[in-house]
Amino acid sequence: MAPPAAAGATSAAPPEEDMAGRYCIVTGCNGGIGYQVARGLMARGAHVVMACRNRGACEAAAEGLRAEGLRGTCACRSLDLTVTMWCMPGCWTGGPGPARPRPGRARSRDPLSSASPIPQDLDSVRAFAAQQRAELARAEPGAGAGADAAGAGGGAGRGRALDVLVNNAGVMGVPRPPGSPEPHLAANHTGPYLLTRLLLPALAPGSGRVVTVASRAHFWGGLRLRGGAGAGAGAGAAPEVEDDTHNWFFQYARSKLCNVLFTAELQRRHGHAAAARAAAGTAAGEAAGGSGPGLREAAAPPAKGASPLGLGCYAVSPGFVDTGIFRHLLPSWAQWLRAPLRPLVRSPEQGARVVVWAACSSSLQGRDALFLHDCREMQASPAARDPRLAAELWRASAALTGLPEEEEGEGEGAARGVRTESTSGGGKGTR
């Protein structure tokens, strides 16, 4: 892996792999960077599931992409990552162990776990993940557009794996309605965390990728966790994110820090070096994950739980991009103030380059790299490289979303016999 980008580096993208027959999911792609990511993947032949909360805007975006005559295909699916019933510390009463809802607060039931309070709006994430796993299970191996047709028609394919999940959807500067969770953390981290965890078993072992659109704003982010076993609350207690900032920028920066920390922990659990170590049964994997700043996480002790899947897990920074994400920062009558800044910022297409590169580049195959900017690895902030913080955030997020901390069982791709080869040292799988 290349060293951190030098000052003045351009965002010209190195060549990417052909994506014909690959199955990709991109969240929040009815506009902005996500739209261009979907476009870039389709241009390379992929089938893209456009996961958006606004179905009308999604269908309009899909029509626009289809009208371009790109090689790939796309399909719209509904997904809302917002978790309005999710609670920050103080929202629930009760100490260690399963939290109890405040009087009058509804608690939804969920088949995956009944031990934790489940936010009601996570139902959209759960429904989407279940739908995707079912569609993938019904699809023909290697099918792109056919996978969608099989899913829609209830076909009886032999199943295929998910190749790429792009966690792109995000918000900035949104107001916080009284009594609701901090919206940046909820939409930018907690929802994507749950989505990724639920889709992990569907990802192609050895070649699947999880690309999370973070930001250099994470350098300004701080994350404090309270409680948990380390605080003497008991061995099974999970920590909670401290709701200690009320400034929208630092809330956004914290959520982007969470994106990088989540990627680091995902990499430690399911990255290429973790898979190589597991395959070797020794510490030999330390030599297999390439080189670069991301290795600090990759070389951490293996996590308990299911076998590492050997995924490419990347947090990416698109740069400063002119999109609708800033719409909450100015009243609509003052949006014209953005115009003078346009020459200084990137277009959504330029911002999407690093995301598409992280999803496609053959130069990343089999390698762990934590944070990518300008299509190169960049050293993430010290906080983002703290393996203990990453592990604690994983635990806190698992507790909040009602998931077990550890993955259970092997990936479905492996169970279905999806062909993969060892990826250590840059080998190729089925991608």
List residues binding ligand NAP (CB under 6 A): 27-28, 30-34, 52-54, 57, 79-82, 168-171, 187, 213, 215, 318, 320-321, 323-325
Alpha-helix runs per DSSP H in 271-336 = 272-280, 295-298
The CB-of-309 to ligand NAP minimum distance in angstroms stands at 24
Nearer to ligand NAP, 171 or 273 (CB): 171
| Residue (139 or 321) nearer to ligand NAP, CB | 321
3-state secondary structure of 398: helix
> Rounded to the nearest whole angstrom, what is the least distance from the CB of residue 214 to ligand NAP in the complex?
7
Nearest approach, Cβ of 198 to ligand NAP (angstroms)? 15
How far apart are CB 316 and ligand NAP at their closest, in Å? 9
Is the Cβ of residue 216 or residue 428 nearer to ligand NAP in the bound state? Answer: 216
Q: Min. distance of Cβ 305 from ligand NAP in angstroms? A: 28
Token pair in block for residue 203: 């990802």
Q: Any idea what the Cα angle at residue 315 is, between residues 312 and 327, rounded to 5°?
A: 140
For residue 426, how many other CB atoms are within 10 A of its CB? 14
- Contact between 215 and 378 under an 8 Å Cβ cutoff? The reply is no
For the CB of residue 220, give the shortest distance to ligand NAP in the complex, in Å. Answer: 12
Strand, helix or coil for residue 77: strand
- Please give the Cα distance from 209 to 404 (Å, whole number): 22
Who contacts 226 (Cβ-Cβ below 8 Å, separation ≥6)? 89, 239, 240, 242
Closest to ligand NAP by CB, 80 vs 407, is: 80
**Letter string b/e over residues 7-44, b meaning 16 or more CB atoms within 10 A of that residue's CB:** eeeebebeebbebebbbbbbbbbbbbbbbbbbbbbbbb
Cα–Cα separations (whole angstroms), residue 285 to 268, 289, 303, 377, 429: 12, 7, 14, 20, 17
Shortest separation between residue 99's beta carbon and ligand NAP, angstroms:
23
Give me the residue label for tokens 């995000």.
170
Three-class secondary structure of residue 36 per DSSP: helix
The nearer residue to ligand NAP, 373 or 385, going by C-beta atoms, is 373
Q: Quick one: 213 or 261, whose CB is closer to ligand NAP?
A: 213
Considering beta carbons, is residue 52 or 300 the nearer one to ligand NAP?
Answer: 52
Which position has the token pair 């790429």? Answer: 164
Structure tokens at 218: 């994470």
Nearer to ligand NAP, 161 or 198 (CB): 198
The distance of closest approach from Cβ of residue 32 to ligand NAP in the complex, given in angstroms and rounded to an integer, is 2
8 A C-beta contact, residue 309 and residue 271 = no
Question: What are the angstrom distances between the C-alpha of 260 and each of 81, 266, 357?
Answer: 18, 10, 17
CB of 345 to ligand NAP, least distance (A): 7
Which one, 149 or 213, has the nearer CB to ligand NAP? 213
